């Protein structure tokens, strides 16, 4: 998918795309498959996800979460949407989306591999030892299955699949306005994340970037 508009080059030889309001509207409607929330998604988010679609097919997973947030499909297996509680992001919300790239992160989260102490993992290994202590040759296969397959199923059934974030806000009518996507790593620097959001979305949705109001 390509961005519509008039393509040219600046003095440095960099490509620039000139878009009018009709181009932007057409791009949003095309990208969202003309879903009813298309006026409430930023052009910056559509453009970024279009790039993802060409490179890593992430856009599909994001669209599914957007449809769930809009009530157009049943909620998936990711964590529920939550508001940011602290400045400078207070007033905005985030919702996880999960892709195959996040598989190992979810397995690590399930078994406590990202924090000290692995009570669940220790318990599981003890169960394998108790049930198959006289069959050490089968241990690797059983442990691998329980760690990988059962670990992912546990996270999925609990609706706690993690991944990266959809960042959105709520307008005066209470409807979601979708601003951009962000990684967990970006979330560790909230000032930089807010700057990225403002640079991409403040021209369309300035009401969400008056930080004196939050």
The pLDDT confidence band at residue 1, using thresholds 50, 70 and 90, is very low
* Contact (CB, 8 A) for 154 and 142: no
Among 112, 138, 157, residue at a domain's last position: 157
Instruction: In whole angstroms, give the CA distance from residue 16 to residue 10.
Output: 7
77-90 confidence digits (pLDDT tens):
888 999 999 999 99
167-183 confidence digits (pLDDT tens):
999 999 999 999 999 98
Instruction: Tell me whether residue 1 is in a domain.
Output: no
Tokens of 163: 């991944």
- Looking at the fold, whether 84 and 177 belong to one and the same domain comes out as yes
With 0-12 / 13-18 / 19 or more C-beta atoms within 10 angstroms meaning exposed / middle / buried, residue 27 is buried
Q: Which domain holds residue 151?
A: 101-157
* Contact (CB, 8 A) for 52 and 156: no
- Looking at the fold, whether 11 and 52 belong to one and the same domain comes out as yes
What percent of the chain stands above pLDDT 90? 44
Q: Is the pLDDT of residue 160 over 70?
A: no
Residue 99 dihedral angles phi and psi, to the nearest 5°: -125, 170
Q: Which residues contact 160 (CB under 8 A, 6 or more apart)?
A: 77, 78, 79, 109
pTM for the whole structure? 0.71
- Looking at the fold, whether 80 and 168 belong to one and the same domain comes out as yes
Instruction: In whole angstroms, give the CA distance from residue 146 to residue 152.
Output: 9
Among 157, 174, 199, residue at a domain's last position: 157
Structural domains counted in the chain = 2
- Looking at the fold, whether 62 and 142 belong to one and the same domain comes out as no
Which range has the worst mean pLDDT, 6-20, 28-42, 192-206?
6-20
Q: What is residue 41's predicted lDDT score, i.e. its pLDDT?
A: 98
55-71 confidence digits (pLDDT tens):
567 888 899 999 999 99
């Amino acid at each position: 998918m390509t961005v519509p508009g008039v393509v040219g080059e600046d003095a440095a030889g960099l490509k620039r795309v000139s878009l009018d309001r009709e181009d932007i509207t057409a791009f949003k409607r095309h990208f969202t498959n003309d879903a009813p929330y298309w006026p409430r998604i930023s052009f910056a988010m559509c453009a970024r996800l279009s790039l993802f679609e060409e490179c890593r097919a992430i856009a599909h997973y994001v669209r599914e979460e957007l449809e769930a947030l809009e009530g157009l499909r049943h909620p998936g297996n990711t964590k529920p949407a939550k508001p940011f509680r602290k400045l400078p992001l207070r007033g905005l919300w985030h919702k996880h989306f999960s892709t195959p790239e996040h598989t190992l992160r979810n397995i690590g989260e399930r078994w406590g591999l990202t924090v000290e102490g692995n009570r669940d993992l220790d318990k599981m290994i003890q169960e394998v030892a108790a049930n198959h202590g006289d069959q050490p040759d089968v241990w690797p296969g059983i442990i691998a299955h329980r760690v990988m397959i059962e670990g992912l199923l546990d996270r999925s059934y609990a609706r706690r699949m993690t991944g990266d974030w959809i960042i959105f806000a709520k307008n005066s009518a209470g409807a979601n306005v979708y601003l951009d996507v962000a990684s967990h790593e970006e979330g560790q620097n909230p000032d930089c994340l807010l700057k990225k959001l403002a640079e991409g979305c403040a021209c369309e949705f300035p009401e969400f970037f008056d930080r004196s109001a939050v």
